[in-house]
């Protein structure tokens, strides 16, 4: 976050975090826990998992607004922060994959100076993640498009969900 140039691909997680910090950015572990079956299916690691315990992230996304079993992975992130005494900012994100569902997850912070207020809140750990209620039709749309995307990416070996 707050990085104005591309971060090169192929670096380790630690190298990536260090590079982001060198650029003055904020390194956020996005949905650190995801289903392992999905990693296996796509043949790619989608999350950093327990690296949140040892790497110098500035924040961890603990509220990933994915309906259904996604809550389990949010709780795993929160439990890891508590059990490991990781005292950094918590964020919330939509992980929407489709425009209609952007904003289901969000990060709250104090201030009225836009990105500067967000950056300061993240640096000092004064943020809160939150998510909206999902209607049945929104869940159906989300999972329908997600499954279609996964199948397309498995077929084409893109190594991603998007």
With DSSP H G I counted as helix, E B as strand and the rest as coil, what are the percentages for the chain, rounded to 5? 45, 15, 45
Per residue of the chain (162 residues), give pLDDT as tens.
899 999 999 999 999 999 999 999 999 999 899 888 888 887 888 889 999 999 999 999 999 888 877 889 999 999 999 999 999 999 999 877 778 888 899 999 999 999 999 999 999 999 999 998 889 998 898 888 888 888 888 887 766 665
Residue with tokens 């299916």, as numbered in its chain: 41
Rounded distance between C-alpha atoms, residue 15 and residue 17, angstroms: 6
Contacts of 41 (CB under 8 A, 6+ apart): 150, 154
Rounded distance between C-alpha atoms, residue 5 and residue 3, angstroms: 6
CA nearest to 64, candidates 4, 105, 102: 105
Classified as helix, coil or strand, 127 is strand
pTM of the model: 0.85
């Amino acid at each position: 976050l707050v990085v104005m140039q591309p971060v090169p691909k192929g670096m380790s997680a630690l190298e990536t975090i260090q590079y982001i910090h060198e650029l003055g950015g904020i390194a956020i572990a996005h949905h650190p826990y995801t289903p392992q079956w999905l990693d296996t299916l796509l043949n790619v690691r989608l999350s950093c998992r327990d690296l949140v315990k040892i790497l110098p992230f500035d924040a961890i996304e603990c509220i990933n607004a994915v309906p259904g079993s996604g809550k389990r992975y949010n709780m795993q992130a929160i439990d890891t922060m508590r059990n490991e005494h990781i005292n950094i900012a918590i964020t919330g994100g939509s992980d929407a994959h489709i425009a209609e569902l952007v904003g289901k997850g969000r990060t709250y912070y104090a201030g009225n100076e836009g990105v500067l207020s967000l950056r300061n809140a993240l640096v000092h750990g004064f943020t809160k993640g939150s998510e909206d209620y999902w209607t049945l039709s929104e869940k159906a749309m989300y999972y329908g498009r997600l499954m279609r995307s996964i199948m397309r990416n498995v077929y084409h070996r893109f190594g991603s969900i998007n």
